[in-house]
Amino acid sequence: MDWLALTLAGQSPASTQGRTAQLSWHWRGPGLLELIPHAACYEAWVISAGIHGDETAPIELLAELTADWLAGRRPLACRLLLILGNPAAMAAGRRYLDLDLNRLFDGPRASDPSGAEPLRARQLEAAVADFWQATEMPIRRHYDLHTAIRASAHLRFALLPAQESGYDAAMLRWLPSAGIEALVRHSAPGRTFSHFTSARFGAASCTLELGKARPFGQNDLSQFAQVKAALAAGVAADTDALADLPQTAPKGYRVSQELRKHSEAFVLHLPAAAANFTAYPQGTLLAEDGPHQYRVQAEREYLLFPNARVAPGLRAGLMLTEIPLSQLADKAG
């Protein structure tokens, strides 16, 4: 079964379940594939990609890993829910069709318009709820794979959802083995997929940003070979293989302020080519939106995800301050 090709074509496999020597697989709906190893396992992982349809490198990476697991080329020692998040947007080569799916999780709100993406958010919420509630697995993880729209000073980085408790120690050890160069801690809850799984299911969750968005077939997947190896070793519970991977020493950041687009008057005062993690000194005017002015408040802040084209009401960028990595394990925000 070519999971990615079927998903892009909007088709289902001839049979919705099957067995290999090491696992059973279950097609749970468009873009939803569950793998259950025959051997006893103690962890239940969700790995998602394609929540934004034009972020193709992680989609290709996940499709390759899935083909390997189904063909028995890689061991599996945990229960896995694999998700291709927005198949219609993937087929159209677009971030989303009508609404940004990664701003719609954690239940419907009265202010949410209806449409394909709100419906998909509810389907994905139900799929992870069924997956984790169907088992008594003590350990739940979720890695949501994305790419950035623009170039980044850190090629591979992670965003950790805001949470009261400290972050999962195994996840904080895994990220450097995956070649992650920077960790960004959110300071406020968001309606992202990784925040949803962390807040509602207590999962060790993060968003992984892998390079810059390019069309299918134009990615240099060698840049993410270590992420792939670390995912494969993680779900194989192969601690020796993880330890053998070269470890990065990631920089730590926290979100210091959010640039919110209140109206169509929002304008960014930044060079169009400014890379993610560019530093700006205190006082720099970053953006304006009618009476609102956004300026760098700390001595120095780093730019992340500036995008004036988002819908009014959504975040149009984040500003970060550098923090010691040790603060990521702290209990309070």
Contacts with Zn ion by CB under 5 A lie at 52, 55, 146
CA 199 to chain centre: 15
Q: Which stretch binds ligand LFNQLBSZ (CB under 6 A): 28-36, 123-131, 188-196, 218-226?
A: 188-196
Encoded one letter per residue, x for contact with ligand LFNQLBSZ by CB under 6 A and - for no contact, window 295-324 reads ----------x-x-----------------
> Is 209 among the residues known to form the active site?
yes
CB of 100 to ligand LFNQLBSZ, least distance (A): 7
Interactions with ligand LFNQLBSZ, residue window 130-149 (CB under 6 A): 146, 148-149
Which CB, 159 or 242, lies closer to Zn ion?
159
Interactions with ligand LFNQLBSZ, residue window 82-121 (CB under 6 A): 102
Selected from 48, 66, 192, 197, the binder of ligand LFNQLBSZ by CB under 6 A is: 192
Q: Report what 141 binds from Zn ion, ligand LFNQLBSZ, none; CB cut-off 5-8 Å by kind.
A: none
CB 289, CB 312: distance < 8 Å: no
Which CB, 25 or 305, lies closer to ligand LFNQLBSZ?
305
Q: Which position's Cβ is nearest Zn ion?
A: 146
Selected from 28, 52, 120, 142, the binder of ligand LFNQLBSZ by CB under 6 A is: 52
Residue listed under structure tokens 């990784």: 194
Which CB, 91 or 298, lies closer to Zn ion?
91
Neighbours of 298 (CB within 10 A): 15
Question: Rule CB under 6 A: is residue 154 a binding residue for ligand LFNQLBSZ?
Answer: no
> Whole-angstrom Cα distance, residue 112 to residue 321?
32
Question: Rule CB under 6 A: is residue 198 a binding residue for ligand LFNQLBSZ?
Answer: no
Which CB, 23 or 57, lies closer to ligand LFNQLBSZ?
57
Catalytic residue among 209, 258, 288, 322: 209
Which CB, 78 or 175, lies closer to Zn ion?
175
- Angstrom CA distances, 195 to 3, 81, 87, 150, stand at 26, 17, 21, 23
Q: Which stretch binds ligand LFNQLBSZ (CB under 6 A): 25-33, 68-76, 131-139, 187-195?
A: 187-195
Q: Report what 194 binds from ligand LFNQLBSZ, Zn ion, none; CB cut-off 5-8 Å by kind.
A: ligand LFNQLBSZ
Which CB, 148 or 183, lies closer to ligand LFNQLBSZ?
148
3-state secondary structure the chain: CCHHHHHHHCCCCCCCEEECCCEEEEEEECCEEEEEECCCCCEEEEEEECCCCCCHHHHHHHHHHHHHHHCCCCCCCCEEEEEECCHHHHHHCCCCCCCCHHHCCCCCCCCCCCCHHHHHHHHHHHHHHHHHHCCCCCEEEEEEEEEECCCECCCEEEEECCCCCCCCHHHHHHHHHCCCCEEEECCCCCCCHHHHHHHHHCCEEEEEEEEECCCCCCCCHHHHHHHHHHHHHHHCCCHHHHHHCCCCCCEEEEEEEEEECCCCCCEECCCCCCCECCEEECCCEEEEECCEEEECCCCEEEEECCCCCCCCCCEEEEEEEEECHHHHHCCCC
Q: Would you please indicate which residues are annotated as catalytic (active-site) residues?
A: 209
Q: Which residues bind ligand LFNQLBSZ (CB under 6 A)?
A: 52, 102, 146, 148-150, 159, 190, 192, 194, 207, 305, 307
